[in-house]
Chains A and B, each alone.
Chain A
Amino acid sequence: MTFLQPLMLAALPLVSLPLIIHLINQRRFQTVQWAAMMFLLSARAMSRGYSRLRNWLIMAMRMLAVAAVIFAIGRPLSRGWLALAGGARPDTAIVVLDRSPSMQQRSAAAADTKLETGRRQLVESLATLGASRCVLITDPAVKPLELAGPAALADLPAAGPAAVPADLPLLLQSAYDYVKENAAGSTEIWICSDQRSNDWAPENGAWGGIRDAFAKLPQQVRFQLLSFREPAEGNVAVRVTDTKLEKRGELRGLVVTVAATRQEDGERVVLPVTFEIGGVASTVQLELTGREAVLKNHVIPLDRAAGSRGWGKVSIPADANIADNEFFFVFDEPVARKTVVVAEDPAARRWLTLLAEIPPEKDQRSAAEAVAPDAFVTTPLTETALVLWQGPLPAGRDAEALTAFLDRGGQVVFFPPDVPTETTFAGLTWRSWANHPQPVKPVSWRTDQDLLSNTLAGGALPVGEVQVFRSCEFTGDHVPLASLPGAAPLLARVADAAGGVYVCTTTPNGRDSALASEGVVLYAIVQRAIDRGAGMLGKSRQLDAGPAAEVLTAKGVDWTRLAGPADALSTEIGRHAGVFAADDRLVAVNRPAEEDAGRIAADDRIDGLFRDLSYTRLTGTAGSTDSLVQEIWRAFLIAMVLALIAEGLLCLPKSAGAERSPFEGLRPVEAAA
């Protein structure tokens, strides 16, 4: 508990006043001659029981009343009723703000969103607490922002709504780094969030490290979670899952698949879904009965005069959360899925070329070109999505060409050469082959993301069936995607490479592995890499807000916003939904899909993340006008009045009957005989 007049607490010893008065009273006794000593002796021999308890209670009530008056004069501050056991004024207040789209939810009765309510409450609370330094952390990639004062939080664009999910583990890691670097004194970290599990990722292994790190800090760090966990009643999110240009003779149309989702089952709703392309709007009714409704392959005719590239917007009427009521999309002619295979081993070359040539869908076009290692530098890579490289790592001009390709967003998968060399590329160096006496199979692989993730149907790739006879070791920073026994990687992504650089530690040659004969895994690797490359190289791209949209902040390219919130900062270009154009490229940025599906994490799950730390969870409501921190001297005055009333009641004689009973039947002289 914090006090605005803490000096008044110096009067707390006055609490003992009733006790002192009692002791003085004990000393002011009278002496009387007494006849009925036998009753006094009997009374003293009886158990004091309730009488003693009552005396203690009376004394406690008197002391409580005095204490309540002193506390009330000290002007205590409450941080919500749950946080009465808090501490004193902090030196530094760090605000960790969840700006994700779900924080823009409103309650039915209020105009303010969760984010606005949270910001206002934080401003009031921090102003009342009077922390000497206020720091705002909203994005792990951005340096913590030191605020001039709590009031700055109210109108700071950097604290406004965004389309990026909040990565709470990373945000708290940033907070930890800040506390450690700046050696802040007692620190209070205010986290304002709606407890979405996609933002918090409670299963993330990083939480343990963060918790330990904070626990080891010498200074006192308190966590205050301002939780807006109320669910969004009747909120529907709309999303474009697929766009495809279609030509039928002279007519062109855009085939769009739209999904409308909601968190809970509800009543049947007919949603008017509005498509807006080039200023022309059209509306389609979509019936939503369960949790999801899909408008599949809806054809929107396109103007003949318009080019084949363009952008549009899908929207539904405003509901509890307006941030997920619209979705931007771009469309373009499909990109050729071209692969260049550089392989010194003919068998590997043959297999890789074959797998790259087979398109995953019948109306897609795939092409693969096998080139010799020495002819690579002369091969044009402008329309290439993927390079499959089996041989010594590129050096010299080959390396330059490949780096330029990677910078454009191309993907490359390296396979080991027959004879490893000392060449290094992107921090990667092949070492030596390791022969396995018995064929080994991968024991673990990443099923949640990247090249080996589960299929759309949810099934796992049969990675565990692939037999590896020998594998080549390598050095360099990497993220393993599949590991052989003994933690040696089979497939890995090189960390910090501009584009996607992958390493496979064996080749499709039957001598090295069964990757070719168990072709499904290698085919998935190649086609998914092509998909990523094609997506990056196409002139129209659909990006998730956040790290994926960082290409928009690349230097040398001036992106123009065609659609999206007008008040968004240009420095935060990748963090807001919208459509952006530069040269002949178009990019649509939207909230990630997990934002629509994100569940609210259970309170105990979140509380468990902060166990052993000083932590309090305050529950807020969107649109609430209550302050988190408020003066509560009235409560203490009420407590004093209640204590005095209780004291008065305890001091009353037990009952009128008990008072009369000793005289009962005394007046008449009773005839006993």
Chain B
Amino acid sequence: MITDRQPRSFLEPAVLSRLAGVPLLARKSMVGNVSGRHTSPHRGSSVEFAEYRKYVPGDDLRRLDWRAFGRSDRFYVKEYEADTNLRLCFVLDTSGSMNFSAEGRLSKIDYARRICAALGYLASQQGDAVGISCVADGIVKTLPPRRSPAHLRLAFDILEEAKPAGPTRLPEVLHELAETIRQRALVVIVSDLFVDPAVLASSFGHLRFRHHDVAVFHLLDPLEIGFKFQRPTRFLDMEGGGSIFADPVDIADRYHQAVNRYLEAMKKVALESGIDYGRVLTDESYEQVLARFLVGRAAGSGLR
């Protein structure tokens, strides 16, 4: 049990206890260094029989199947599935746009903190290693995955200290992370993904190429979708760009058209890249979002 002296605004024990019933599972086999809840590509010592293999000198004689030898006069070794732990790497978008909130809702960064913290806690509880990378114009801060509870506290500190600022260069950062995360890992990206979907597709492809299991929480504020403004408005870019003056009555149609086009493209990229992609509106309870996420993964886990 983690004992964290500092109260964290993004950690809600009641939510965590409700979510604890569903395990966080990887959809792909993971290469861990200790025993865990996730399938491994290697044979191991679990109770689940995997296959027979011919004995070769050097094999442990304790794993020789004497009954098989009695029946066939040949030496066979019984092999069992190996269960291991996973490396959970959060990629948290801390660009300026994540600071957006409207109508009293949580800002996207706050929402992202809650998702990361809850998932991190659940992973740590089941013995998985948790790491985090805050990205914006580049990798702002990074913490490699470790299994210890103290390490989780460090991750929470990073989450707490993350300050949204600057432009997004998510595709480039993802390419970099794909190369730097050493072993197979579950990479959870929490971002508003305000980049060209086509560019993003190559980043996802790179992560998949490196055998990472990629999950994406695509955070959007309802106002960004609905664009419900009544008066002419000057829009200031939160990522440091210029400003745009527009009459919402005049531009709303085309704005909606652009949003639709973008969302369609993003969906297509997700399907083609084979990532676990989910759109999240920030007016929805993050507990429900995580519950759906965990249940969905549990259904598709166990692949080797």
Contact = CB atoms under 8 A, between A and B. Distances in A.
Interface of A: 25-26, 28-44, 46, 48, 51, 55, 654, 658, 661-663, 665-673
B232 A28 contact: yes
Interface stretch (B12-20, B65-73, B150-158, B246-254): B246-254
Nearest to B272: A672
Contacts of A39: 224, 227, 255, 258-259, 262
A35 B224 contact: yes
A46 B292 CA distance: 37
Given A44-B251, A661-B256, A666 B236 contact: no
B27 interface: yes
A328 to B, nearest CB: 81
Contact of B235 (A32, A48, A658, A663): A32
Nearest to B196: A38
B100 A658 contact: no
A650 B247 CA distance: 16
A668 B289 CA distance: 8
B192 interface: yes
A424 to B, nearest CB: 91
Given A42-B261, A661-B260, A34 B278 contact: no
A648 to B, nearest CB: 14
A27 to B, nearest CB: 8
Contacts of B235: 32, 34, 37, 40
B254 A48 contact: yes
Given A35-B97, A39-B255, A670 B238 contact: no
A669 B233 contact: no
B62 interface: no
B172 to A, nearest CB: 17
B244 interface: yes
B55 interface: no
Contact of A51 (B217, B231, B254): B254
8 contacts: A29-B231, A37-B194, A42-B262, A51-B251, A666-B263, A670-B279, A672-B270, A673-B276
A654 B252 CA distance: 11
A30 B234 contact: yes
Contacts of B27: 673
Contacts of A42: 254, 258, 261-262
B100 A670 contact: no
Contacts of B259: 36, 39, 662
Nearest to A47: B254
B267 interface: yes
Contact of B271 (A40, A41, A672): A672
Contacts of A25: 231-232
B110 interface: no
Contacts of B257: 43, 46
Contacts of B176: none
A654 B233 contact: no
A663 B227 CA distance: 11
B254 to A, nearest CB: 4
Given A33-B236, A38-B262, A40-B255, A672 B274 contact: yes
Contacts of B270: 670, 672
A42 B258 CA distance: 6
Given A42-B261, A658-B256, 9 more contacts: A30-B233, A32-B233, A32-B234, A37-B237, A39-B227, A39-B258, A48-B254, A666-B225, A673-B27
Contacts of A29: 231-234, 245
Given A39-B258, A670-B278, A44 B246 contact: yes
A49 to B, nearest CB: 9
Nearest to B231: A30
Interface string B198-219: 0000000000000000000100
Nearest to A654: B253
- In the complex, the 3 A-B pairs of residues with the closest C-beta atoms, listed nearest first: A669-B278, A35-B97, A42-B258
B304 to A, nearest CB: 16
Contact of B251 (A30, A31, A35, A40): A40
Contact of B293 (A28, A40, A669): A669
A25 B230 CA distance: 11
A34 B238 contact: yes
Contacts of B251: 40, 43-44, 51
Contact count band on B: 35 or more
Nearest to B222: A663
A661 B276 CA distance: 23
Contacts of A28: 231-232
Nearest to B253: A51
A40 B234 contact: no
Contacts, number: 159
Contacts of B238: 33-35, 37
Contacts of B96: 35
B241 A26 contact: no
Contacts of B255: 39-40, 43
A672 B277 contact: yes
B277 A670 contact: yes
Contacts of B108: 35
A28 B231 CA distance: 8
A671 B296 CA distance: 7
B280 A669 contact: yes
Nearest to B296: A671
B134 interface: no
A44 B245 CA distance: 10
B194 A40 contact: no
A652 B273 CA distance: 40
A55 B254 CA distance: 14
A35 B100 CA distance: 6
A33 B100 contact: yes
A38 B200 CA distance: 15
A7 to B, nearest CB: 37
Contacts of A31: 233-234, 236, 243
Contacts of B262: 38-39, 42
Contact of B276 (A35, A48, A654, A672): A672
Nearest to B268: A672
B220 interface: yes
A514 to B, nearest CB: 93
Nearest to A51: B253
Contacts of A36: 97, 100, 192, 194, 224, 259
B225 A669 contact: no
Contacts of B232: 25-26, 28-30
Contacts of A55: 249-250
> In the complex, which of the residues A26, A39, A48, A665 has the most CB atoms of chain B within 10 Å of its own CB atom?
A39
A35 B236 contact: no
Contact of A671 (B243, B258, B300): B300
B275 interface: yes
A416 to B, nearest CB: 94
A631 B253 CA distance: 44
Nearest to A37: B237
Contacts of A654: 253
Contact of B246 (A40, A46, A667): A40
Interface string B84-118: 00000000000011111000000010000000000
Given A29-B245, A34-B236, A51-B253, A672 B260 contact: no
A669 B255 CA distance: 23
Given A30-B234, A43-B251, A44-B244, A669 B261 contact: no
A35 B98 CA distance: 7
Given A35-B238, A670-B267, A43 B258 contact: yes
Contacts of A661: 256, 260
Contacts of A34: 100, 235-238, 244
Given A654-B253, A669-B279, A35 B192 contact: yes
B241 A37 contact: yes
B254 A46 contact: yes
A51 to B, nearest CB: 6
A669 B100 contact: no
Contact of A673 (B229, B237, B247, B300): B300
Contacts of A666: 220, 225, 263, 279, 281
